[in-house]
Structures are given as C-alpha cells and as structure tokens.
Amino acid sequence: MKGLAELGEFGLIDQIRARFPQPVAPELGIGDDAALLSPSAGSQVVVSTDLLAEGVHFDLGFGPARLLGRKSLAVNLSDIASMGAVPRWFFLSLAIPAGFPLETIEGLLDGLAEQAAEYGCILAGGDTCGSKSGLVISVTIMGEQRPELILKRSGAVLDDEVWVSGSLGDSALGLQLLMEGKRLGQSDDYLMQRQLDPTPRCDLGRKLAEAGLVNAMIDISDGLLADLGHIGEQSGCGAEIQLGQLLLSPAFQAYAANQHAFPWQLAVSGGEDYELCFTAPVCNHGAIQKISKTTGIPLTVIGKITSSRQVQAILPDGTNFQPSASGYTHF
C-alpha cells in the first residue's frame, strides 16, 4: 500500500479533490490561492471554526477514522445549526505526523465526504502540512441566513420556556465507556455512537429560525448547564430547569439504573451532546411541538428563563443540583 510520504502533499490534495464535488462557477474552490464564494443576496455569512487535536479531542483507538471525519464536520455543522443558518461551504486543514497511516487519512476523508454530502456542504479549500506529533484537524465552516432570522445567544426573554432537542448525556456516557475500554460492535453501541458520530441538528435549527418561533439558541457542546449559562450571560438573565423533565435515552436510563447515584452530572455537564437548547415564548409552545412532529426530533421543555442571572437546576426531589464541574477545561 502506498504511504503518505510517497503520495506527497499534492497527491494528498488530489485524494481530497477526488472525494468532494467542487464548487460550480462563478465560485472557485481548491486550486487557487483562495476560494471565491458567492453568498445569496440579502444573506449574512455565518462562520464558525473548530480545531480538533489528537489526544485532546479524539483518540484514534476509540473508533474508525471514518467516524472521526464525520464528527469533525458535525461539530461545525452544529454551530451553524444553532444560529438557524444553512451550511454552505467548509475549509479543511490537516497537520499530519510523519509516518501516519494513509488508510487512516483515507477513512477520515471518506467520513468528511459522507457528512458533507448529507448536509449539502461544499469543501471549498484548506491546507495540509506535517505535524511534529499528533494529527490536528481544523475545520472552518460557512453558512448563510437572512439577518432577521438568525438566532443568537442574546435573545432570551424573561419567562421564555427553555427547550432541548433529543436526549442528553448519551455522548458523555459513551465517552466514559470508551475510556473504560469498550468498543463499537459490543453492547452499548448506541451510547458510543452518540459520542463518535453525533448528529448535527441542521434541519431543526433552520426550521425553528425560519418559523420565527425562537428567541435564543445554542448548541450543547460544553454541557447543558454551561451552554444555558452562555445564553443567560448574553441575554442578561438566568434559568431554572427541572432535571426530572430531561429526556434521557433508554440506554442512558438502563445504565443509570445500575448506579448508586443517578448520573445527573453526565447528563447536564458531560457535553458533546450537539443537541440544540433554545428559549421561546410560551405562546409558541404548540407550534414548536408541531415542528418536533414534522422533523421527528423530540423537543422537551425543561424549565424557564428567570431574572436571577444564574442557572438553577432542580433535582426530581425538589433540592438543588450542585454540579461538580461544568464543562471541560483545556489548560
């Protein structure tokens, strides 16, 4: 099998080019000093970027490289979803260690190409280079939306209902299982899949924005409490949530049933759920439930926006939940 060194930088770029459809004229993708993009008239451009470093964000031993490729784009798609925007283009930079297996890179590119095709997001450019140690993946994504429809963290209003899509905690629990040595193909695949191959809520985010039902939105990457806290900070308010209202998957509940203490920490601070958390006026409740039905994605009210400037989480027994840590720290 041909190695990366033999393939070379331009060979690698050809491998990338072969997997991704190119922008159509008058746009210009891979092969010049810069990409040329034509956003729709009247749209704002919505841009997000995420850096994933080996040994920090991912462990290549946890699952196939294809899933890592899918996730690298999914976490960026999720940021576009949380603004209610439509993904359009992305840029991929890879720093690859010397002697890195070519088939891992090919798997990574396959996963990225799958995910890009699923969400209609075009690879418009990037950069490839060597790395002194681990693999580093940098993705910058660009979407678009009419400015008046874009959902920010700053729009929450007192007495808004706080909604969450899907179930929480699966991804964090899946990561815990992987760190304990479990792998895909055994039991608990659902939980590990949620960690290794999260689903960005692009269709849902866009529908909520275009229906004009929502005041503020964020995607849950750092954990519900931390991310709802970001909405509070930007909106100048707080929130009170009832943990008993959280939707938990059957797999999560089955795991919880075997624990001494219910693993609330995983559900509300574990992070990497990539579900959407949003706030909306009570009068929009029915219309939002209809969107839940048409998209097939569960949407649950878990609390409301308060004037308290903090996020208070109430356990099913009525006492306050005290998180042991909220969100991941990098340094």
Of 42-101, binders to its own copies (CB under 8 A) are 44-57, 79-80, 82-83, 85, 89, 91, 93-96, 98
Of positions 60, 64, 110, 128, contacts its own copies by CB under 8 A: 128
> Interaction with its own copies in 201-220: which residues (CB under 8 A)?
218-219
CA angle 325, 326, 331 (to 5 degrees): 80
Q: What's the CA gap between 200 and 275, in Å, rounded?
A: 7
133 versus 310: smaller Cβ distance to its own copies: 133
At 189, list the tokens: 């695949």
> Any known ligand binding at 309?
no
Q: Are 325 and 262 in contact (CB under 8 A)?
A: no
Of positions 63, 69, 107, 125, contacts its own copies by CB under 8 A: 125
> Any known ligand binding at 222?
yes
Our finding on whether 28 is near its own copies (CB under 8 A) is yes
> Any known ligand binding at 272?
yes
Secondary structure letter of residue 54 according to DSSP? B
Our finding on whether 310 is near its own copies (CB under 8 A) is no
> Any known ligand binding at 88?
no
> Any known ligand binding at 32?
no
Total residues binding its own copies (CB under 8 A): 72
Q: What's the CA gap between 108 and 270, in Å, rounded?
A: 25
Q: Are 212 and 285 in contact (CB under 8 A)?
A: no
Our finding on whether 169 is near its own copies (CB under 8 A) is no
CB of 254 to its own copies, least distance (A): 32
CB of 63 to its own copies, least distance (A): 19
Piece in contact with its own copies (CB under 8 A), picked from 1-9, 14-22, 115-123, 168-176 = 1-9
CB of 102 to its own copies, least distance (A): 10
Of positions 15, 22, 138, 242, contacts its own copies by CB under 8 A: 138
> Any known ligand binding at 317?
no
Piece in contact with its own copies (CB under 8 A), picked from 146-154, 171-179, 242-250, 255-263 = 146-154
CB of 219 to its own copies, least distance (A): 6
CA angle 22, 200, 180 (to 5 degrees): 115
Q: Are 139 and 49 in contact (CB under 8 A)?
A: yes
Q: How far is CA 209 from CA 14, 81, 82, 192, 224, in A?
A: 38, 9, 9, 30, 20
Q: How far is CA 174 from CA 54, 196, 221, 225, 233, in A?
A: 18, 8, 15, 19, 30
DSSP conformation letters of 165-224: ES-SSHHHHHHHHHHTT--TTSS-HHHHHHHHS----HHHHHHHHHHT--SEEEE-SS-H
139 versus 248: smaller Cβ distance to its own copies: 139
Secondary structure letter of residue 118 according to DSSP? H
Our finding on whether 198 is near its own copies (CB under 8 A) is no
Beta bridge partner(s), residue 138: 51, 93
CB of 56 to its own copies, least distance (A): 5
> Interaction with its own copies in 246-265: which residues (CB under 8 A)?
none
Q: What's the CA gap between 12 and 214, in Å, rounded?
A: 43
Query: Which residues are part of a known binding site for Mg(2+)?
Result: 33, 48-50, 79, 127, 219, 222
Query: Which residues are part of a known binding site?
Result: 33, 48-50, 57, 79, 126-127, 153, 219, 221-222, 272, 328
